């Protein structure tokens, strides 16, 4: 039996406009999407639900995306991570990729680049 959540993409971003745009782009491409403006809500969700990919913003006030990525690895090791950020610094990129991120994308996001990153992450699962 196929995993019913194999195509679920979770998006975690505290910026409502970015969250809306990413969810819309993924939904229009045919993905099932669940959105979270609070990283703690996302981590609580993945304790009991599978997600193929998590698109996670780095700079959030409650918990940064690298910490979310680290906690997610313990809760759901099979979930692929795509990190997004407006501040592309080399140290953050190296930490995210070293911790297993499938992609590291710079805001403003290019829709095609995002979709390609999601496709690639799902293919590597």
Residue 114 CA to residue 120 CA, distance in Å, equals 10
Residue 75 CA to residue 81 CA, distance in Å, equals 13
**Which of 20, 93, 95, 82 lies closest to 54 in space, CA to CA?**
82
Residue 109 CA to residue 22 CA, distance in Å, equals 8
Alpha-helical segments (H) within 29-88: 39-46, 65-75
Per-residue tens of pLDDT for the chain, all 125 residues = 234 356 899 999 999 999 999 999 999 999 999 999 999 999 999 999 999 999 999 999 989 999 999 999 999 999 999 999 998 889 999 999 999 999 999 999 999 999 999 999 999 86
Which pTM value belongs to this model? Answer: 0.94
**Which of 80, 23, 21, 13 lies closest to 50 in space, CA to CA?**
80
What is the CATH topology of the domain spanning 8-123? Rossmann fold (3.40.50)
Residue spans of the domains in the chain: they are 8-123
């Amino acid at each position: 039996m196929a995993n019913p959540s194999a195509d679920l993409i979770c998006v975690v971003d505290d910026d409502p406009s970015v969250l809306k745009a990413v969810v819309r782009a993924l939904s229009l491409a045919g993905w099932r999407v669940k959105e979270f403006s609070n990283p703690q809500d996302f981590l609580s969700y993945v304790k009991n639900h599978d997600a193929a990919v998590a698109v996670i913003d780095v700079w959030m006030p409650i918990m940064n995306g690298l910490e979310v990525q680290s906690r997610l690895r313990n809760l759901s090791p099979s979930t692929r991570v795509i990190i997004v950020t407006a501040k592309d610094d080399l140290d953050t990129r190296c930490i995210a990729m070293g911790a297993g991120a499938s992609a590291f994308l710079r805001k403003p996001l290019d829709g095609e680049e995002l979709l390609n990153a999601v496709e690639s992450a799902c293919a590597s699962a």
